[in-house]
Structure formats: structure tokens, C-alpha cells
């Protein structure tokens, strides 16, 4: 237990100081000590020191990021160029290729890139620690997992036409996009090979090779797209042929480079070790995929920079250079913001010219021109996020006790601790200790951590110990057993949680449906309020409430149940204070909507509806902390039942009040507010009934202690999620 406590500083098994220990964490960084390597940069104390190190670090970053950005642009341009030529075939061809690229291939791209991103930290830290031989093993493991995932995703391509019709796409476009999706299945397996290769090469700073190969592919892709799609009139079939061949050219060329021996010890041939501990790697890959899919907001330039910032940080952590790791992140963030600003300016300046590249349809061109300022704004707002996701998510969030989630408080982070944890993580996933002989058996070094349990170690069954602690090296039967066990655990929580989320999301969606039967103006007003005003506040509140996820989960896992209620009350105070500030956003919604270009009529209606929806804002402030409080105790079914009841009543009363009684938008506001408050009151009644045991022991003055530390954590969580 003592070893676990050292690795998880948020937890403590000592009854006399457990609460004080958790409280102290909110105002300090970490109690984990680590000595930096002699090659680490010196502490930065003056502006001159900052400028000097910034210049050096910028060169290092752009040595990686320059070719990576070029590579990313080239690879993204493959699909974009295909769309350009498709736009000159027909409007249907353009729509079909666009839908397949953005929905079908886009979804698969996100899954594959996310799962491949599991290698970012592992390869980066292994290379930084000099454990080059592990890079090839990691890449091969990822190939096995991603190609298996590709087989599953094939069904998405095969049934694309039906899925597109199901989500409301027109029959003509759905059928054309569905046919094109089937033709694009080979690209899916190119993704499965390419993304692990990219992480493998990036970890070794071999970016120029990727850039050259991608550039050659882009040149040939442009020529053959023109030849096959337009000159030979192959249309969409030609587009599919060229796009598939271009992606596989990139894969084969990169493999030829790797197999040629230019990667040294990093590639020593195929190995059976790639099939060891596959289940652990699957879980890591799936977690990476989920995280990236939630944050895939602009992957071209910014994710490229973020990936290489992650590699820089991973290398430095693996090499025991915590100060260098911290500073490389600062440089990456500044550089990313500058790039985002430049791209936004270019986009706005050329908004009258570039739409003609994609279509000859005047309506399409006009719409693109109108949406360009919004797109530019999104790029500018989101430009820093992928960089921070690349660094902080993979280098820190997997360590459940790390407060590095304060992404805008980079200098508050204990990077000494992260450098120490980096080596532990390498050993966990099959690598040897960098301080020991690399020839020692890899799997003897594995240190698997079971999922948190509210029970003591002595109460775990022998079977659970066996499943959670051993590396997976056995046959298909044991794989099925472990998969079934893990699957049941996952869906025991996930199924009710997904159902709850769908029910709560449907409240606003159903309101929009009924608003559409009132008038077009009512539909527009409710939609704008839901997506812009309420959507913004929802993101802030959900993000701030998410600060409880780690704290409540770990406190419950450590048996410190009484702290759950304290944390929830503390979050209530902070979120309701935030709601008071956000009220001004609702009150002045009309002026804000006009400012961003919305029509006066819709702005006035949406502004009025926003004022009516202020009570919902305070329901958010109470609901999200309650959700984290209940989730930490696995009381998901209660939330699901309450949300289902709320949804049923919401549908009935929306129909009654909005349509039958003719209350229109006013009725929509009344019912939507009441539905959200019903959820809050019902959940509170459950909590106050004593069903949560020691987790709720009543209101406490402790909720007012150390509020500032909790505020910082809440805002950091909000910005990360938003």
C-alpha cells in the first residue's frame, strides 16, 4: 500500500491525515521529489534568460514541427484536392466525396489517429531514455491493434449509405457517398499502418523523410486526379483509385525507409514480442482514441505542432530534463498561437477567392464566404488546444494523481515528478529500466496497476488479482475471458451513462423539434440559443464540474467517502458563482448575436429566449457536480432512471404547452427549465435520503475551505474540456 501511495499522491491510506493530505493537494503541486539531469537547462530568472532559451528551444521545436506541419498539410491536401476535382464533376460528386471524407473517413481517421497516438508518449520517452529497441515493438503492437480495428470499421464503410440516410442525409447524396465509401476501404488499412509509422519516425526526429514522401505523394496525387477524374472522365471511381493509391504510396515508401536499416536499433525486424501484453496496449490505444476524438478540433497544422511538442516533452522527461520539458511546452504554445493567428488572417483575406476552387455553384460559394469568418475565429480560439492535448493529456493525465490538468498554469506543474513517472510508465508498458541492463527480460519489469477499488487489497479475489496483474501472453480463450470481464465492467458504467447523456441531450433537441412546428423564427431562435448561448455555458459548467472526476473517483477508491460530499458542495459554490457571471451572457445575448452577424429578427427572438432560460443555467451549476458525485460511486442507474422520467414528461408537456395551449417559445422555456430542475431535485432527494452512506453526511463548513485551489482546478478543467 505504501508504494501505491507514493505513486498516487492524491490518495492516502493513513486515517489520521488523509483529509488534510487531499486538501493540501489543491494548493500545492506534488510531494514527489526528483533530481534533474545535469544536461537540463538552468532555471530561467530574467528576460534575457527567457529569450536565450526561447531561441534555442524554438530551433529544436521547428526542427521537428516544420517538416511535420508540411507533412500534415500534404496528407490533408490529398482529400482536399480530391474534393476540388470532384466539385468540377458535379454537385452530387462534390457532396458525396465531402460527406465520405468528413463523416465516414473522418470518423475512422479520428479513431485510427487516436489509437495510434498511444505511441506518442511511449515512443518519445523510450527514445529519450535510450531504449531504442522498444520503438519497433510498440509500432508492431499498434499495427496489430489498428488493423483489427480497421476490420471492425469496415462495416461503417459498407453500411455508410444506410447510416447517412438514418441521420437525415438525402437519398441521392447518401447513395453516392455510400458507394464512394465502399471504394475507400483500402484507405482505412493505410491509416492503420501509417499512424503507428508516423509516431515511430517522429520519436526519432525523422520528420524530413515523412515530409519528402508526403510531398512526392501530393504531386503525383494532383496530376493523376486531374488525369483520371477530369481528362479520362472516371469521375468518383477515379477519385477513389487515386486517393487509395496515394495513401498506400506513403505507407510503402515509409516502410521501405524503415526496413532499409536507417533507423538503427529502433527497427531490428519483426518480433513475437509485439503479441505480448496486447490487451494492455488495446486499452491504452482505446483511451487515446477517445481522448483524441474529443479534441480533434483542427488536426492539420495545430495537431502536427502538438504532436511534436509532445515528442519534445516526452524525450526530455524520458531523459530526466524536467525544466527543458516545461520550457518546450511554453515555446510550443506561443508558436501555435502565432500560427493560428496568421492562418486566420490569410483565410479571411482570401474568403472571396478560395471557394471557387471547390465548386462552380454560386450558392455554395456564397455560403462558404459567409462561414469563413466563423471558421477563422474557431481556428484562432482552438489553436492552442491540440498542443496542450498532445503534451498534457499523454504525458500527465494518464498519471491519475497529477494536477497538470491546470494547462494554463504550466509553471505550477511539478515537472520533476513527471520526469520520474515517465520512466515508470516505460517499464509499465514493457520497457526495461533505463538505469539497468537493457538485456534483462522485458516482461519481468512490468508493473501493472489494477483499477481503483473501494475494497481493501485482501478482499480482492484470486481471480481478479490474476486477471489484473499478469501480462497477456496466453491464447484466445484467456483473451476472451479477460475481454468479457473488462467489457462487463466498462458497460456496467458506460451503458447507463450513455443513456443518461442521450436523455439529457434530447431535452434541448425535443424543444427544437416542437419549436419547428411553431414557426421558422421560433426554430431559429431556439436553435441559436441552444447551440451558442446555452451551448457555451453548458461547456463551461460541464468542464468546471469535471474537476470532481479525479478527486471524487480517487477519494472513493481510497475509502475516503466523506470527502465526496465536501467536494460536491465546494463545486456547487464555485459553479453557482460562475453562473451569476454567465447571466450577463444571457441578458446581453441579443447584442452579442447581432455583433457576430446574426440577423436582427433572429437575434431579438433568441435574446428573449435566452433571458427566459437563465434558470437552466443554475440547474447546470447543481447538476454537473451531482453527476460526478454519483458517478464516482457507480450510482449511474439512478441518474439514468431520473433522466428517462424527465425525458418522458418533457416530451408530453412540450407538446401540451407549446402546441396545444399555444404558448410557443414561452412554453418551450418553461418546460425546458422545469425538466432540468426536475433532474436536479430528484437527484438531490436521492442523495439526501441517505442512499449514499458516508459520502453524504450533510452540509459542512469545510466546503468553504481552500476555495481558491478548487477554483483553479475547476477553471483548468473547464478550459481543457471546452
Query: Which of 88-102, 525-539, 599-613 ranks highest by mean pLDDT?
Result: 599-613
- 3-class secondary-structure state, position 439: coil
Q: What is the pLDDT of residues 652-664, one digit of tens each?
A: 999 999 888 989 8
> Is the confidence at residue 310, as pLDDT, over 90?
no
What is the average per-residue pLDDT within 319-343? 63
* Number of Cβ within a 10 Å radius of residue 437: 7
Between these two residues, 628 and 556, which has the higher pLDDT value?
628
Query: Which of 149-163, 423-437, 675-689 ranks highest by mean pLDDT?
Result: 675-689
**Which value, to the nearest 10 degrees, does the dihedral of the CA atoms of residues 190, 192, 197, 200 take?**
170
Q: Say if CB 554 and CB 567 are below 8 A apart.
A: no
Sorting pLDDT into bands at 50, 70 and 90, what band is 224?
A: very high
Identify the CA nearest to 403 among candidates 702, 127, 716: 716
Between these two residues, 309 and 485, which has the higher pLDDT value?
485
Burial of residue 351, with CB atoms counted within 10 A of its CB: 0-12 exposed, 13-18 middle, 19 or more buried: middle
What is the average per-residue pLDDT within 473-497? 57
CA pseudo-torsion sign 270, 273, 275, 278: negative
* Number of Cβ within a 10 Å radius of residue 17: 11
Query: Which of 19-23, 180-184, 192-196, 279-283 ranks highest by mean pLDDT?
Result: 180-184
**Given the C-alpha cell 412546428, which residue does it identify?**
517
Cα 506-512-515 angle, rounded to 5 deg: 145
Q: What is the pLDDT of residues 59-78, one digit of tens each?
A: 766 676 677 778 878 887 88
Angle between helices 185-203 and 105-116 (to 10 degrees): 30
> Is the confidence at residue 579, as pLDDT, over 60?
yes
**pTM (2 d.p.):** 0.44
- 3-class secondary-structure state, position 687: helix
Q: How many CA atoms lie within 13 A of 331 on its CB side?
A: 26
> Is the confidence at residue 115, as pLDDT, over 70?
no
Provide the pLDDT for residue 450.
31
Provide the pLDDT for residue 404.
37
Q: Say if CB 543 and CB 625 are below 8 A apart.
A: no
Contacts of 660 (CB under 8 A, 6+ apart): none
| DSSP structural state of residue 275 | G
Between these two residues, 466 and 252, which has the higher pLDDT value?
252
Provide the pLDDT for residue 465.
39
Provide the pLDDT for residue 451.
31
Spacing of C-alpha 606 from chain mean position: 31
Q: Which of 88-97, 141-150, 311-320, 618-627 comes out lowest in average pLDDT? A: 311-320
Sorting pLDDT into bands at 50, 70 and 90, what band is 127?
A: low
Cα(402)–Cα(396) distance, integer angstroms: 6
| DSSP structural state of residue 35 | P
Cα 333-339-345 angle, rounded to 5 deg: 140
Between these two residues, 718 and 111, which has the higher pLDDT value?
111
Provide the pLDDT for residue 395.
40
Cα(405)–Cα(425) distance, integer angstroms: 18
Contacts of 159 (CB under 8 A, 6+ apart): 178
Cα(132)–Cα(352) distance, integer angstroms: 50
What is the average per-residue pLDDT within 88-104? 81
- 3-class secondary-structure state, position 32: coil
Q: What is the pLDDT of residues 371-396, one digit of tens each?
A: 778 777 766 666 655 555 444 433 43
Cα(680)–Cα(507) distance, integer angstroms: 14
- 3-class secondary-structure state, position 618: helix
Provide the pLDDT for residue 14.
37
> Is the confidence at residue 299, as pLDDT, over 60?
no
What is the average per-residue pLDDT within 110-130? 65
Sorting pLDDT into bands at 50, 70 and 90, what band is 297?
A: very low
If you average pLDDT over every residue of the chain, what do you get? 70
> Is the confidence at residue 719, as pLDDT, over 80?
no
Cα(664)–Cα(519) distance, integer angstroms: 9
What is the average per-residue pLDDT within 349-375? 70
For residues 33-43, one letter each, b for 16 or more C-beta atoms within 10 angstroms of the residue's C-beta and e for the rest, the string is ebebeeebbee
What is the average per-residue pLDDT within 603-627? 90
Q: What is the pLDDT of residues 10-43, one digit of tens each?
A: 333 333 344 444 444 444 444 444 455 556 666 7
Provide the pLDDT for residue 409.
40
What is the average per-residue pLDDT within 223-228? 92
Q: Which of 340-344, 440-444, 542-546 comes out lowest in average pLDDT? A: 440-444
Q: Enumerate the domain spans of the chain.
A: 53-428, 485-721
Provide the pLDDT for residue 713.
60
> Is the confidence at residue 584, as pLDDT, over 50?
yes
* Number of Cβ within a 10 Å radius of residue 125: 31
Amino acid at each position: 500500500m505504501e508504494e501505491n501511495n507514493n505513486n498516487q499522491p492524491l490518495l492516502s491510506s493513513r486515517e489520521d491525515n488523509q483529509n488534510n493530505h487531499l486538501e493540501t493537494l489543491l494548493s500545492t503541486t506534488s510531494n514527489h521529489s526528483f533530481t534533474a539531469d545535469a544536461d537540463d537547462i538552468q532555471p530561467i530568472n530574467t528576460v534575457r534568460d527567457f529569450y536565450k532559451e526561447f531561441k534555442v528551444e524554438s530551433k529544436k521545436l521547428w526542427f521537428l514541427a516544420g517538416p511535420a506541419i508540411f507533412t500534415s498539410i500534404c496528407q490533408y491536401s490529398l482529400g482536399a484536392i480530391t474534393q476540388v476535382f470532384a466539385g468540377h464533376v458535379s454537385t452530387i460528386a462534390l457532396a458525396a466525396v465531402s460527406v465520405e471524407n468528413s463523416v465516414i473517413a473522418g470518423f475512422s481517421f479520428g479513431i485510427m489517429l487516436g489509437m495510434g497516438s498511444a505511441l506518442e508518449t511511449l515512443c518519445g520517452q523510450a527514445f529519450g531514455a535510450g531504449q531504442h529497441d522498444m520503438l519497433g515493438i510498440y509500432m508492431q503492437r499498434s499495427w496489430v491493434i489498428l488493423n483489427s480495428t480497421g476490420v471492425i470499421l469496415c462495416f461503417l464503410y459498407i453500411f455508410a449509405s444506410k447510416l447517412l440516410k438514418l441521420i437525415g442525409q438525402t437519398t441521392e447524396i447518401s447513395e453516392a457517398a455510400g458507394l464512394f465509401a465502399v471504394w475507400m476501404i483500402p484507405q482505412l488499412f493505410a491509416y492503420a499502418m501509417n499512424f503507428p509509422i508516423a509516431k515511430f519516425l517522429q520519436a526519432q526526429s525523422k520528420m524530413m523523410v515523412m515530409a519528402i514522401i508526403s510531398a512526392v505523394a501530393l504531386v503525383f496525387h494532383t496530376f493523376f486526379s486531374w488525369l483520371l477524374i477530369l481528362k479520362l472522365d472516371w469521375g468518383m471511381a477515379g477519385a477513389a483509385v487515386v486517393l487509395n493509391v496515394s495513401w498506400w504510396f506513403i505507407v510503402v515508401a515509409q516502410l521501405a525507409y524503415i526496413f532499409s536499416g536507417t533507423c538503427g536499433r529502433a527497427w531490428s525486424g519483426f518480433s513475437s514480442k509485439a503479441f505480448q501484453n496486447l490487451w494492455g496496449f488495446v486499452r491504452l490505444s482505446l483511451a487515446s482514441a477517445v481522448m483524441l476524438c474529443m479534441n480533434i478540433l483542427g488536426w492539420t497544422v495545430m495537431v502536427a505542432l502538438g504532436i511534436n511538442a509532445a515528442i519534445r516533452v516526452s524525450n526530455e522527461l524520458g531523459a530526466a530534463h524536467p525544466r527543458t520539458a516545461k520550457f518546450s511546452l511554453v515555446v510550443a504554445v506561443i508558436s501555435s498561437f502565432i500560427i493560428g493567428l496568421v492562418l486566420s488572417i490569410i483565410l479571411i483575406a482570401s474568403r472571396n477567392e478560395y471557394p471557387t476552387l471547390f465548386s462552380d455553384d454560386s450558392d455554395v460559394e456564397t455560403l462558404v464566404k459567409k462561414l469563413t469568418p466563423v471558421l477563422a475565429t474557431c481556428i484562432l480560439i482552438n489553436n492552442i488546444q491540440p498542443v496542450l492535448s498532445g503534451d498534457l493529456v499523454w504525458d500527465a493525465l494518464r498519471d491519475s494523481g497529477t494536477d497538470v490538468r491546470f494547462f494554463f498554469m504550466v509553471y505550477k506543474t511539478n515537472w520533476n515528478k513527471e520526469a520520474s513517472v515517465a520512466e515508470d510508465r516505460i517499464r509499465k508498458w514493457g520497457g526495461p529500466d533505463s538505469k539497468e541492463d537493457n538485456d534483462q527480460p522485458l516482461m519481468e519489469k512490468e508493473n501493472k496497476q489494477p483499477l481503483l477499488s473501494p475494497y481493501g487489497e485482501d478482499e480482492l479475489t484470486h481471480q481478479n488479482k490474476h486477471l489484473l496483474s499478469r501480462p497477456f501472453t496466453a491464447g484466445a480463450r484467456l483473451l476472451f475471458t479477460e475481454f468479457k470481464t473488462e467489457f462487463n465492467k466498462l458497460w456496467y458504467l458506460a451503458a447507463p451513462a450513455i443513456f443518461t447523456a442521450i436523455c439529457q441531450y434530447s431535452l434541448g433537441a425535443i424543444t427544437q423539434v416542437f419549436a419547428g412546428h411553431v414557426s421558422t423564427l421560433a426554430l431559429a431562435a431556439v436553435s441559436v440559443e441552444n447551440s451558442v448561448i446555452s451551448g457555451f455555458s453548458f461547456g463551461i459548467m460541464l468542464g468546471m464540474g469535471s474537476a470532481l472526476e479525479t478527486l471524487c473517483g480517487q477519494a472513493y477508491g481510497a475509502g475516503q467517502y466523506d470527502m465526496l460530499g465536501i467536494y460536491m458542495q465546494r463545486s456547487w459554490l464555485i459553479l453557482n458563482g460562475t453562473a451569476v457571471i454567465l447571466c450577463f451572457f444571457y441578458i446581453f445575448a441579443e447584442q452579442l448575436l447581432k455583433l457576430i452577424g446574426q440577423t436582427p429578427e433572429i437575434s431579438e427572438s433568441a435574446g428573449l429566449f435566452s433571458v427566459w432560460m437563465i434558470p437552466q443555467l443554475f440547474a447546470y451549476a447543481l447538476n454537473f457536480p451531482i453527476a460526478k458525485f454519483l458517478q464516482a460511486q457507480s450510482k449511474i442507474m439512478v441518474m439514468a432512471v431520473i433522466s428517462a422520467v424527465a425525458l418522458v414528461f418533457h416530451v408530453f408537456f412540450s407538446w401540451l404547452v407549446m402546441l396545444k395551449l399555444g404558448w410557443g417559445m414561452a412554453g418551450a422555456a418553461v418546460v425546458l427549465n422545469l425538466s432540468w430542475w426536475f433532474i436536479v431535485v430528484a437527484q438531490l432527494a436521492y442523495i439526501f435520503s441517505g442512499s449514499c452512506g458516508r459520502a453524504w453526511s450533510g452540509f459542512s463548513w469545510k466546503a468553504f475551505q481552500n476555495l481558491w485551489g478548487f477554483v483553479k482546478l475547476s477553471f483548468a478543467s473547464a478550459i481543457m474540456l471546452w
